[in-house]
Copies of this chain bind each other. A is one copy, B any other.
Amino acid sequence: MSTETIGNKLRKLREENALPLRKVAVLLDIDVAILSKMERSERPLTKEIVTQLAKIYKHDREELLVLYLSQKIVKEIGEEDLAIQAMHVAEEQIKYQRKKHK
């Protein structure tokens, strides 16, 4: 199973496209150091960066965003004993609030 971080995934994609950090950083208009740290999970990614990288690497945007979001969840509650149950409740709450609002 995919125990791969979004950072690792993005690094692989970059290497497959044979792009150096330097060039990608320019496209994103961020410092090379930051991008390096993002790929190694030393600094958090953002939705915007992930989206831009999906375009640059011509990779499915939703797949990357799902991975990105899922890791935010894991980081937030992954170590809690009640994590699974909490997610089930959260899922119901989200589905519910979507039926109502808009």
Residues of A within 8 A of B (CB): 1, 3, 62, 65-74, 76-78, 80, 82-87, 89-97
Contacts and interface: CB of A to CB of B under 8 A. Distances in A.
Copies in the complex: 2
A67 B89 contact: yes
Chain A facing B: main interface SS? helix
A71 B93 CA distance: 9
A90 B65 CA distance: 12
B1 A92 contact: yes
Given A65-B82, A74-B97, 17 more contacts: A1-B96, A3-B97, A65-B80, A68-B86, A69-B80, A69-B86, A70-B90, A71-B93, A73-B76, A73-B77, A73-B86, A73-B90, A74-B93, A76-B76, A78-B94, A78-B97, A83-B94
